[in-house]
Amino acid sequence: MYELTQAYGNSYYLESPAKIGLFRLNETDVCLIDSGNDKDAGRKVRQLLDAKGWRLTAIYNTHANADHIGGNRYLQGQTGCRIYAPGIDCCITRNPVLEPAFLYGGYPFRDLRHKFLMAQSSDAEPLTEAVLPEGFSILPLPGHFFDMVGLRTPDDVVYLADCLSSRETLEKYQISFIYDVGAYLETLEKVKGLSARVFVPSHAEATGEIAPLAQYNIDKVHEIAEKILSLCAEPIGFEELLGQLFTSYRLQMSLEQYLLVGGTVRSYLAWLRDTGRMNFLFENNRMLWVRS
């Protein structure tokens, strides 16, 4: 864990629960793409930098999930590096309580205010093309989270953030977190047509050919949508629907899974409603969902 792997040229990544990208700007200076899930991740990154004699100048966050910004505060405090994050995610990076509040739909009780769902705040600035190193470009990847982006380096290495999951992850957990299902599918179709020397997804193996995995993720989205539609053949409440999905996929309910999968199922319902395949009604003061 946290071994440094060269993707190509000056583009590297560190193996961690969510891969951390590293780019050598010159003989002494480097920047990061995301920072890991917590202070311990940040400490391991700093130890690597110290061993190499490298100076961290900036962290470019792809989005504001806690496992991607968790090392920000520690590394910024240790090195004085600047931190950048895109769009709405910049606000969340500065105010991380917004992540569990968004997932819960209200003020998050204390069991939700932990590092898995809420990073420490860091002094982030808006991520734009103007603040990137020379030769870098931003690749918008909406869907998984609000304004998530990927980054392409001058080495033609593309860091894909969380826009897709590995086959192993999907086979184990089935339902990956998605904020906007329609945008997510559009992103996957776009990624499927990309070319690069190396693709580095945060939660899958680095590869030179991303299309097969992108298609697998697309197929899984449609499978889950059909499963939800089948469970809504008769009017059903959200909690019952969620429980039946967990049972159907042999998933184990926990607080974190309730939030992440539950939020994703709500996103599916929204997408199915917006595309005319789902209706809702109120009966005995309960909101029920039923397929069109």
- Could you name the CATH architecture of 231-291? Orthogonal Bundle (1.10)
Return d(Cα 100, Cα 73) in angstroms, integer.
Answer: 18
Element (H, E) at 23: strand 20-24
Q: Tell me the β-bridge partners of 60.
A: 33, 84
pLDDT of residue 1: 81
- Identify the CATH homologous superfamily for domain 4-133: Ribonuclease Z/Hydroxyacylglutathione hydrolase-like (3.60.15.10)
Q: What pTM did the predictor assign?
A: 0.97
Domain with CATH 1.10.10 in the chain: 231-291
Q: Are the beta carbons of 177 and 117 closer than 8 angstroms?
A: no
Domain with CATH 3.60.15.10 in the chain: 4-133
Which contacts (CB < 8 Å, 24+ apart) does range 129-132 have? 131/58, 131/82, 131/84, 132/60
Return d(Cα 247, Cα 84) in angstroms, integer.
Answer: 40
pLDDT of residue 99: 98
Where would I find the H helices in the chain? 39-52, 66-69, 72-79, 87-94, 98-104, 167-173, 181-192, 211-231, 238-248, 255-274
Q: How far is CA 125 from the centre of its chain?
A: 19
Per-residue confidence in pLDDT tens, the chain, 292 aa: 889 999 999 999 999 999 999 999 999 999 999 999 999 999 999 999 999 999 999 999 999 999 999 999 999 999 999 999 999 999 999 999 999 999 999 999 999 999 999 999 999 999 999 999 999 999 999 999 999 999 999 999 999 999 999 999 999 999 999 999 999 999 999 999 999 999 999 999 999 999 999 999 999 999 999 999 999 999 999 999 999 999 999 999 999 999 999 999 999 999 999 999 999 999 999 999 999 9
Q: Which residue has the tokens 């089935």?
A: 174
pLDDT of residue 2: 86
Pairing of strands 20-24, 29-33: antiparallel
